[in-house]
Structure 1
């Protein structure tokens, strides 16, 4: 995932800056660093995909 991909995800989700970093569970400064070109880890890319797909956090199925 590139910074441009992250910006596209934010726009597609209709998130303001603060909503985007909160949804990903990262600080404002971490999100800013990702947008500025810092490496975007796989966990963040997967979180973007999960949020875009409307998935909730994983929880075990209770019998």
Structure 2
């Protein structure tokens, strides 16, 4: 997921940066860094983790958090 992809997801969802952070369980400054593609403090590139890209997809599809009971596997 690129910075542009991330910002497009947030915009399409109608989320502010704060709401996107809340939905993904991350901080607002992290959302800002993802959208900028670099860290504010030192300009180093920021890679959006696959886990965040997958979480964006899950939020978009309105999936509930995983629960082992969903699979019939006893945990």
| Structure 2 Cα separation of the partners of residues 30 and 12 of structure 1 | 19
Computed over aligned residues only, the root mean square deviation of the Cα atoms, in angstroms, reads 1.4
2:18·2:28 contact (CA, 8 Å) conserved in 1? yes
TM-score by length of 1: 0.90
- Larger Cα-atom Rg: 2
- The answer on 1:6 being equivalent to 2:6 is yes
Question: Relative contact order: is structure 1 or structure 2 higher (C-alpha 8 Å, sep ≥ 6)?
Answer: 1
Unmatched runs of 5 consecutive residues or more in structure 2: 38-45
Show the counterpart of 1:45: 53
Unmatched runs of 5 consecutive residues or more in structure 1: none
Show the counterpart of 1:60: 68
Q: How many equivalent pairs are there?
A: 63
| Structure 2 Cα separation of the partners of residues 10 and 34 of structure 1 | 11
Moved over 3 A (4+): none
